[in-house]
Structure 1
Amino acid sequence: MSAVAGAKEVAVTDYPATPILETLRRNLEENLEAEGRAKIAVYGHQWGVLDDCFAEEHARRYTRVLAADCLWMAHEHENLARSMVHFLSDSPDARVYVVAGFHTGRAKVAPFFEETVPEVGLEVASIYEMNAEGKRRAWAKERDGGREDVTERKKWCVLARLRRRR
């Protein structure tokens, strides 16, 4: 989407396993015209590993970082956030966009925003929840006293914009 929307340069990353990266490349080949693909490079990146060639060459390079459905492994929140900060430009209008479903539970997602984000030097610029029909509601780290209905919970995503803490 970034390339289609006019980004000058796009880095698509995922866990550095050959089958995953080959699938990403094949998807780009099958779904984008050559002009759009020319702006995109696929890289393997393990969250929190900031001393490999990709991480060193692209530090503080991107004004937009998109993290989609990356919050389901709570034990990786700190590594994910460290990577976000590492790649995010120092520009005052640089942002990290996060979208995540609650399929593994709100209790796994909430600590990322409530604890990890401030610990790594980021802050929430905006955050809300949205369902598939486009209905929005306020972000809540807990609903229904923690007894949120699983079926209802899965209908919603959290959307957030993060920035470097000022």
Structure 2
Amino acid sequence: MILSDLLYTHPSLVHSKYVLELGCGTALPSFLSAYQGAEMVLATDYDEESVVRVLKENVGRAVREVLKGGGKVRGVGYTWGHSPDDLFDYLPNGVDSFDVVLLADTLWDPLSHSDLAKSLSTTLSRNQESRVIVVAGLHTGRERIMDFVKKARRVGLDVVRPSETMRLLWDGLEMVDEPALEEVLARRSTEDVQADEWTSHILELELASDHEEQEPSSPHSTANPSIIHSRGPRLTGRRRKFVAYESLRPEEAKERGGIHLRNRWMTIWSLGWGVQ
């Protein structure tokens, strides 16, 4: 839902581009991409008959009822790590890869990271403007993100600075004050600071609980509207510094109402070719 909100309010991320979604589930980000004028969208999920059947039904319904027959979106099965040749068959002549790849909550299983990174390396267009847009929760721990970044680096991808679009969203949110964390970070060696520079490119945002509503006066609800008011995860309008290690936020291991405190936070970030 959060990725869909981002695409809804920032259409330039996908407009006139060839878009691929991996592990799409309900494929809502794919539908939003088509709605926002993507040149062509391919929504993919695990290549199993029942999964693909439901995906194609969802795509067909969206094309008829939401896109009014005008959206260039297809739903197909694809297993990460396998050859993407069948995916390329859906692209027009002269196009052999995708400008944007979408990942929404696909990092929870570390055993799939290598295959996912391999698929990114074979489907993402090899130019400096191409992006993998990632939305990842913290419900399975911060190390999941760090593990995946390592796998992505092995195929030539890296976390890149937020686009101007994402930075405008980020700068409009309230920063959580964490003096204890800042004190710990200030004691790090120069080598550690340089090694963790990539973490500054990851936007960490707070999710609202079911009973919370965003304040109408928050900067995020007017100048930077990033919420579709419907059922699903919503943002509170607060942000904080992303850190890669659980040990830097030991309070996140605690539970409230049976839910880990880290589950209240999620991340938005992008991968591109090489360090930028």
SS of the equivalent of 1:3 reads helix
Which of structures 1 and 2 has the bigger CA Rg? 2
2:249 corresponds to 1:140: no
Segment of structure 1 superposing worse, 144-153 or 64-73: 144-153
| Counterpart position of 1:121 | 156
1:51 CA displacement: 5.8
Choose from 10, 21, 33 the match for 2:67. Answer: 33
* Matched AA of 1:47: W
| Counterpart position of 1:95 | 131
* Matched AA of 1:95: R
Structure-1 separation of matches of 2:266 and 2:273: 23
1:146 CA displacement: 6.1
* Matched AA of 2:76: Y
Choose from 3, 6, 15 the match for 2:46. Answer: 15
1:121 CA displacement: 0.3
| Counterpart position of 1:46 | 79
| Counterpart position of 2:181 | none
* Matched AA of 2:45: D
2:143 corresponds to 1:107: yes
Structure-2 separation of matches of 1:51 and 1:11: 12
Cα contact 2:141–2:246 (8 A) shared by 1 = no
1:145 CA displacement: 3.8
Cα contact 1:10–1:40 (8 A) shared by 2 = yes
Q: Percent identity?
A: 32
1:138-163 deviation line (CA, Å, top 9, x unaligned): 22112444632352210111111110
Aligned length: 164
Change (3 A) 1:156 1:111: same
2:120 corresponds to 1:81: no
| Counterpart position of 1:4 | 35
Structure-2 separation of matches of 1:25 and 1:52: 20
* Matched AA of 2:265: W
Structure-2 separation of matches of 1:50 and 1:130: 35
* Matched AA of 1:141: A
Structure-2 separation of matches of 1:143 and 1:164: 28
